[in-house]
Structure 1
């Protein structure tokens, strides 16, 4: 029996989410990088709440830098989308590149909040 040496995974600092907000052409884009989970979802929630209170009608959540999202992050996105609709605004998710995140949306039936055409999305590897 051979043993492989222990190789540690990424540190929490390397996978923690970073959230930035940009306002352009009457739209606010909330860009996220890293992982969205129970520990980092509040960062996304806070940024989306601020965007929704800004008064713009279009908000985009750019997940192109997200490598992982669990149900905590999905819940934040769905809650923000409901809030936006209730106030006559739109929230769209864009840039989903991670196969894991795409699969989460597919399994939960939530691709309707993405701006991407599901037919043009790449399939599983």
Structure 2
């Protein structure tokens, strides 16, 4: 069991790139926002998807299953995608022990991931066109109730 560090998932979308940035712990309690973001990515009109896992400190088998499912969904939809790393030591260990690193290798950084996914180009134009970044949050009780 890991300390409760929580997680955050933020999405930025432009015509060229659907960028998902995850941070913190990705486990059974915190995976739903990432699942939603990855589903939105496969349905997006953006040319490609980049998932930035460089800020993820912990991932469990539920997170790994989610990533493998997203990999399959992107392939089935014919959507290019890549994962930006580097992975934290704990995430790297999970991927190394399961062999998933062969299927989900991280690019060294965001620029490398964009190139790997084939969505490199004018990153400054993409940033200007990108919709405001918005977090995917797990639904919970309202502050008033």
Q: What TM-score results when the alignment is normalised by the length of structure 1?
A: 0.76
Equivalent of residue 107 in structure 2, options 107, 113, 116: 116
In 1, Cα distance between equivalents of 2:106 and 2:17: 14
Q: Does the 8 A contact of 1:17 with 1:35 survive in 2?
A: yes
Aligned residues: 106
**2:9 equivalent in structure 1:** 19
Corresponding residue SS for 1:30: strand
- Computed over aligned residues only, the root mean square deviation of the Cα atoms, in angstroms, reads 1.9
Hey, what does 1:5 align to over in structure 2? none
1:62–1:72 CA distance, 2 compared to 1 (3 A): same
Query: In structure 2, do the counterparts of structure 1 residues 113 and 49 end up closer, same or farther at CA, with 3 Å as the change threshold?
Result: same
TM-score by length of 2: 0.66
After superposition, the C-alpha distances for 1:9-63 in whole angstroms (9 at most, x for unaligned) are 85x3xx1110001124611110011100001111100111111111324111101
Provide the C-alpha distance between the structure 2 equivalents of 1:107 and 1:57, rounded to a whole number of angstroms.
32
Q: Which has the larger radius of gyration?
A: 1
Aligned to 2:34: 44
Unaligned regions of 5+ residues in structure 2, if any? 109-145
Give the unaligned 5+ runs of structure 1.
Answer: 1-8, 118-125
Separation in 1, partners of 2:104, 2:48: 13
1:33–1:65 Cα contact (<8 Å) kept: yes
Pick the aligned partner of 2:64 from 61, 70, 74. 74
Aligned: 1:90 with 2:80: yes
